[in-house]
Amino acid sequence: MKFTNDSLKIDAAGTVEGIQAEIRHQIGRVLKKSGAVVGISGGIDSSVCAALCARALGPNRVVGVMMPETDSSPESERLARELGETFGFETVKEDISGGLAGLGCYERRDEAIRMVFPDYGDGWKNKITIPTNILEKETFNYFNLTVENPKGEVFTERMPLKAYLQVVAASNLKQRLRMTTLYYHAEKRNHAVVGTGNKDEHMQGFFVKYGDGGADLKPIAHLFKIQVFQVAEAIGVPADIIKRTPTTDTYSFEVTQEEFFFGLDFHTMDMLWYAMENEIPPAEAAEVLGLKVEQVEKGYANIKRKIVATEYLRMAPLEMDLIK
């Protein structure tokens, strides 16, 4: 197979038709539901999913649910509404801040942050990031906590395990409460919940189990991120959404998906991953991508490690095989 910089170009029109036909089949025939409920964040993945559903099923069978909370960017709601207007489907807003407060989300998160920064409190912002030099060094992932105080001073420390686990567990309440909310809206309408993860997220484990990972179907989980952009352009997703930098929209200090999880820009990662999947020799991939061979090898290794390490997220519940 010849590997080129165009290897991830898709027949966008054909891909769109294929996904839309499969949405109709999965929702109508397999799940026997009457429409789709999609959590829309103003990001490209949820926008593409909602738009494909509206085109496949008709806009009156699609509901886009916006679920902002205390740390959400206001831009998310604005863009989500613009998407709904563009494709003609109903949008519903559910502010989940109260629910999250009731679950102790913010309190538990802040308690964990204070294990690292004892002065953290009202008016402070926080984010978690990983090293972004994964092509340069073979390093284990570790997690930095960055905070900004009300004076705008920024501090960063590596997170000890206990603090990291508690911040993530508390923050994951957001995705899990969103899943709960989506199923309420879906079940009252006999609709299916549409998951919005792309291949990068699905296979590298950038989702919360039974949070944003909890859904009835996942129409773009087979598409690389850069292919999602191609679909978005083909179906007319608003330009503001297409050009928005993918963020987690989870932490009060804005953090890109590259900083938080992937450690690489999407183009490089997707091309490396495609090359790895198709067993392109590192030297050949390096020449096409303008990288050193060692960088390609590190990239391949990093992606493989993430896929293996996050297998448990994609597993169905384990059952006992004790009765012979």
Partner 1 sequence: MATIDLDTAREELKAFIVEAFLFGDESEAFTGSDSFMGKGIIDSTGVLELISFLEQNYGITVKDEEMVPANLDSIDNLVEYIRRKAG
Question: In the complex, which residues of this chain contact partner 1 (CB under 8 A)?
Answer: 131, 137-143, 158, 160-161, 164-165, 305, 308-309
Question: What CA–CA distance (Å, rounded) separates 314 from 317?
Answer: 9
Question: What CA–CA distance (Å, rounded) separates 143 from 128?
Answer: 6
In the complex, minimum distance from the CB of residue 251 to partner 1, in angstroms, rounded to a whole number: 19
Q: What are the backbone angles phi and psi of residue 62, rounded to the nearest 5°? A: -125, 135
Q: Which helix (H) or strand (E) holds 108?
A: helix 105-113
Question: What CA–CA distance (Å, rounded) separates 300 from 296?
Answer: 6
Closer residue to partner 1 in complex, CB, 28/131: 131
Contacts of 181 by beta carbon, 8 Å cutoff, 6+ apart: 39, 65, 67, 94, 96, 99
Token duo for residue 27 = 């929702």
Sign of CA dihedral 286, 291, 296, 299: negative
What beta strand segments (E) does the chain contain?
Answer: 36-39, 62-66, 90-93, 125-129, 144-148, 154-158, 192-194
Tell which residue, 144, 124, 143, has the closest CA to residue 71. 124
Closer residue to partner 1 in complex, CB, 33/298: 298
In the complex, minimum distance from the CB of residue 156 to partner 1, in angstroms, rounded to a whole number: 10
Q: What are the backbone angles phi and psi of residue 193, rounded to the nearest 5°? A: -90, 125
In the complex, minimum distance from the CB of residue 54 to partner 1, in angstroms, rounded to a whole number: 39
Closer residue to partner 1 in complex, CB, 79/170: 170
In the complex, minimum distance from the CB of residue 27 to partner 1, in angstroms, rounded to a whole number: 36
Closer residue to partner 1 in complex, CB, 24/158: 158
Closer residue to partner 1 in complex, CB, 55/298: 298
End-to-end CA distance of the chain: 46
In the complex, minimum distance from the CB of residue 109 to partner 1, in angstroms, rounded to a whole number: 18
In the complex, minimum distance from the CB of residue 138 to partner 1, in angstroms, rounded to a whole number: 6
Closer residue to partner 1 in complex, CB, 122/140: 140
Closer residue to partner 1 in complex, CB, 107/136: 136
In the complex, minimum distance from the CB of residue 204 to partner 1, in angstroms, rounded to a whole number: 12
